[in-house]
């Protein structure tokens, strides 16, 4: 039996065992961590394999839906990211969630998430992808809403789920369209079907494929939080910080990029060159990257800054996929997963140490109090802003080069993002880690224990080395090795120039400041997009729809069907009640009348 089945089903078994048996015993966290460790080891063993295996899950006539496993460089590399970050996050959670009353539920959620994410990565057909796609949505919902007693967490969970559902609807339509076009659902046979379709209908081929790809892209827009469905991701920071690191930075949100790349990989990259859908994807990614970076410059919550930077980096990846340079996108996904998980776990350590204080203006001076966290955070920060010889530099370079080659305007957008990223990161670092303590909580902060700092150090190492060819060519899901480690050219100069501009601007503006010297309400309020959604879409569209449904429910279903039936039964009952008069002679009379009728019908038969 293929060990990949263990990789897929072990977390599910652990989630079930935790929920059903181990909840009361306190063993759940240990079991989950053990399962994460086991899956990581299996994932390492599976590296470089090229196999498929499947069994029929549902059979309808001669059509069957398979649950299958496809192992290739893409999926095994992605599994390293998922299980690797997953393992470190599990370990970090042991310490971070130590005092939480619902630890067992939390670890059950994590295991369920590992199961769902593994399913997406290993899926060998689109229906399975979709099933697990929904499952990650569910586990994300459960984990964001872990502290459901807080209204804001419950609302954020709901928002995340609904935004994802909107995207998933398009995704489903896209899958069905693609099935219609190619006649296959399994990745392996799709390409043949597509070619057959192309030869049969050359005229409409591009348009139909574009429509299908755009519908599928809707799923990625929801899951990878691209404009205009990005609103859920910053709110998802209401969940526990390790969850944000695992799900909302490293793995789940990258699933959209992974899925798009898998699609391109399956159908062949040449099909996507010059397709209108590709341009739409690239522009969506580019604009998301820019807008999110702009929003990030004015956020005060440490996790929200990170959330917007995640959005922005996801924008980069989606842009790369749209430019049909998916390798660059996947490479960035790979490096980003490590250093963004590092940054989130670092912020988790900071939040933990500062007694759940998240406002950066109430921190300050933390580098002295928490040297390990501060230094690892600095490394993650360096990787994110693409300081040369960190992992982020190499991957961002590839994306910028791809943009430079194919779409100059997008290149300049990406360059603008490359200025903004160091700027808001420097702001965050200077304000939170340097300077003086600005609040009681921050001055009492002290270094976190080894269960937290261990994962931080490991991730920091990975955050630096993951970009070098000797690591990336082995572990990255897709990697195009450049000829030279650093190719000095126009793109590199722009990138380094952008980096220096951003960092210097950040230092000049924010060093030694007590409160934010710049205030741009437009950016603080995130371009008012949430407001527009609340005031227009929710009020006019959703509320009107809700009113119609409420009317239908209240009057048609409740009043007419349910109430009507009960009223009919009641009036019949009342009618027959009249017959039960209780008067003896009434009964006798009715009896006599009945006898006479019987006699009448017997004597005068018709």
Q: How far is the CB of 595 from other proteins (least distance, A)?
A: 10
Residue 59 or 581 having the CB closest to other proteins: 581
The tokens for 21 are 């048996």
C-beta closer to other proteins: residue 522 or 593: 593
Residue (484 or 577) nearer to other proteins, CB: 577
Per CB under 8 A, contacts with other proteins among 520-539 are none
Closest to other proteins by CB, 543 vs 570, is 570
Residues in CB range of 564: below 8 A, 6 or more apart: none
Of 2-10, 307-315, 509-517, 583-591, which segment contacts other proteins by CB under 8 A?
A: 583-591
- Comparing CA positions, the residue from 375, 307, 317 lying closest to residue 340 is 307
Determine which residue in the list 26, 192, 563, 592 makes contact with other proteins, applying CB under 8 A: 592
Q: Select the span of 296-304, 451-459, 544-552, 575-583 touching other proteins (CB under 8 A).
A: 575-583
- Beta-carbon contacts of 541 under 8 Å, excluding residues fewer than 6 positions away, are none
- Min dist CB 580 to other proteins, Å, is 3
Partners of 301 in beta bridges: 359
Q: Which of 149, 519, 580, 602 binds other proteins (CB under 8 A)?
A: 580
Q: How far is the CB of 584 from other proteins (least distance, A)?
A: 5
CB of 141 to other proteins, least distance (A): 54
588 contributes a contact to other proteins by CB under 8 A: yes
CB of 582 to other proteins, least distance (A): 3
Is residue 581 within the footprint of other proteins (CB under 8 A)?
Answer: yes
Residue 599 touches other proteins, criterion: CB under 8 A: no
Least separation in angstroms between CB 583 and other proteins: 6
Residue whose token pair is 């220096």: 500
Annotate each residue in 27-56 with x if it binds other proteins (CB under 8 A) or - if it does not, as one string. Answer: ------------------------------
Contact 263/277 with Cβ under 8 angstroms?
Answer: no
Could you say which of 149, 199, 583, 602 contacts other proteins (CB under 8 A)?
583
How far, in Å, are 198, 239, 258, 358, 505 from residue 430 at the CA level? Answer: 56, 25, 34, 15, 12
- Is residue 110 within 8 A of residue 146, CB to CB? The reply is no
Give the integer Cα–Cα distance in Å for 347 and 350: 5
Pick out residues in 276-335 that bind other proteins (CB under 8 A): none
Which member of 61, 517, 582, 605 binds other proteins (CB under 8 A)?
A: 582
Task: In angstroms, give the least distance from the CB of 604 to other proteins.
Answer: 18
Phi, psi angles (nearest 5°) of residue 68: -140, 170
Interface pick for other proteins out of 584, 603, 605, 606 (rule CB under 8 A) = 584
Q: How far is the CB of 605 from other proteins (least distance, A)?
A: 23
Could you say which of 515, 579, 605, 606 contacts other proteins (CB under 8 A)? 579
The answer to whether 138 and 116 are in contact (CB under 8 A) is: yes
Closest to other proteins by CB, 196 vs 588, is 588
Nearer to other proteins, 24 or 577 (CB): 577
- Count the residues of the shown chain that bind other proteins, applying the rule CB under 8 A: 13
Q: Is 470 in the site for other proteins (CB under 8 A)?
A: no
> For residue 596, what are its two tokens?
């006479």
Task: Report the residue from 149, 519, 585, 602 that binds other proteins according to the rule CB under 8 A.
Answer: 585
Nearer to other proteins, 484 or 578 (CB): 578
Look at residues 405, 400, 369, 574 and name the one whose alpha carbon lies nearest to residue 492: 400
Stretch that binds other proteins, among 201-209, 393-401, 423-431, 576-584 (CB under 8 A): 576-584
| Distance separating alpha carbons of residues 226 and 388, to the nearest angstrom | 27
In which element (H, E) is residue 57 found?
A: strand 51-60
Q: CA dist 397 to 38, 129, 217, 414, 467, Å?
A: 34, 30, 25, 11, 11
Q: What share of the chain is helix, strand, coil (3-state, %, to 5)?
A: 75, 5, 20
Tokens of 188: 């392996």
Q: Output 201 or 581, the one with its CB closest to other proteins.
A: 581
Among 494, 488, 506, 505, residue whose Cα is nearest residue 415: 494
User: Of 207 and 594, which has the nearer Cβ to other proteins?
Assistant: 594
Minimum Å gap between C-beta 567 and other proteins is 19
User: Which two tokens mark 480?
Assistant: 């195009």
Q: Tokens 């398009």 — which residue? A: 170
- Calpha distance 117→122 (Å, rounded): 9
Q: Select 519 or 583, whichever has its Cβ closest to other proteins.
A: 583
By CB under 8 A, residue 575 contacts other proteins: no
Contact 104, 15 (CB under 8 A): no
- Whether the Cβ atoms of residue 448 and residue 353 lie closer than 8 Å to each other: yes
Q: Which two tokens stand for residue 255?
A: 């699933």
Q: Which 8-state DSSP code applies to residue 562? A: I
By CB under 8 A, name the binding residues for other proteins.
Answer: 576-585, 588-589, 592
């Amino acid at each position: 039996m293929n060990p990949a089945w263990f990789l897929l089903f072990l977390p599910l078994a652990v989630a079930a065992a935790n929920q059903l048996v181990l909840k009361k015993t306190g063993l759940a966290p240990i079991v989950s961590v053990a399962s994460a460790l086991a899956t990581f080891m299996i994932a390492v063993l599976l590296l470089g394999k090229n196999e498929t295996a499947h069994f029929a899950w549902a059979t309808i006539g001669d059509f069957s839906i398979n649950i299958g496993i496809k192992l290739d460089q893409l999926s095994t590399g992605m599994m390293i990211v998922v299980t690797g970050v997953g393992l470190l996050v599990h370990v970090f959670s042991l310490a971070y969630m130590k005092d939480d009353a619902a630890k067992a539920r939390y670890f059950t959620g994590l295991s369920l998430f590992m199961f769902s994410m593994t399913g997406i990565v290993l899926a060998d057909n689109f229906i399975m992808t979709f099933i697990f796609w929904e499952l990650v949505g569910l586990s994300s919902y459960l984990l964001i809403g872990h502290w459901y007693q807080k209204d804001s967490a419950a609302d954020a969970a709901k928002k995340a789920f609904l935004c994802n559902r909107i995207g998933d609807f398009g995704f489903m339509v896209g899958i069905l369209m693609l099935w219609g076009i190619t006649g296959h659902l399994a990745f392996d046979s799709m390409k043949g079907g597509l070619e057959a379709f192309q030869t049969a209908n050359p005229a409409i081929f591009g348009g139909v494929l574009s429509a299908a790809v755009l519908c599928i892209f809707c799923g990625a827009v929801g899951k990878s939080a691209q404009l205009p469905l990005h609103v859920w991701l910053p709110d998802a920071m209401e969940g526990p910080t390790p969850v944000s690191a695992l799900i909302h930075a490293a793995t789940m949100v990258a699933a959209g990029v992974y899925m798009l790349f898998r699609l391109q990989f399956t159908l062949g990259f040449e099909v996507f060159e010059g397709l209108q859908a590709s341009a739409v994807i690239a522009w969506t990614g580019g604009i998301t990257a820019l807008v999110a970076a702009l929003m990030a410059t004015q956020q005060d919550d440490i996790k929200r800054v990170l959330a917007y930077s995640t959005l922005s980096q996801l924008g980069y990846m989606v842009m790369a996929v749209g430019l049909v340079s998916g390798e660059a996108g996947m490479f960035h996904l790979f490096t980003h997963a490590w250093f963004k998980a590092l940054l989130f776990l670092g912020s988790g350590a900071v939040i933990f140490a500062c007694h759940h204080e998240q406002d950066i203006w109430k921190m300050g001076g933390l580098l002295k109090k928490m040297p390990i966290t501060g230094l690892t955070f600095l490394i993650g920060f360096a990787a994110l802003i693409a300081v040369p010889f960190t992992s982020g530099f190499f991957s961002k370079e590839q994306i910028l080069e791809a943009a430079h080659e194919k779409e100059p305007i997008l290149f300049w957008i990406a360059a603008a993002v490359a200025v903004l990223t160091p700027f808001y990161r420097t702001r965050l670092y200077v304000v939170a880690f340097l300077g003086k303590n600005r609040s009681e909580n921050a001055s009492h902060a002290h270094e976190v224990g080894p269960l937290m700092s261990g994962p931080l150090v490991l991730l920091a190492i990975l955050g630096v080395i993951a970009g070098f060819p000797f690591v990336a060519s082995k572990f990255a899901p897709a990697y195009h090795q450049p000829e030279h480690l650093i190719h000095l050219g126009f793109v590199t100069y722009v990138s380094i120039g952008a980096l220096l501009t951003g960092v210097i601007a950040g230092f000049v503006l924010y060093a030694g400041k007590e409160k934010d010297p710049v205030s741009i309400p437009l950016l603080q309020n995130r371009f008012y997009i949430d407001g527009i959604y609340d005031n227009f879409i929710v009020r006019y569209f959703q509320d009107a729809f809700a009113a119609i449904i409420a009317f239908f429910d209240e009057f048609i279903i409740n009043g007419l069907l349910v109430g009507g039936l009960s009223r009919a039964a009641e009036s019949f009952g009342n009618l027959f009640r009249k017959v039960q008069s209780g008067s003896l002679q009434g009964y006798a009379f009715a009896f006599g009348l009945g006898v006479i009728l019987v006699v009448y019908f017997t004597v005068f038969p018709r």
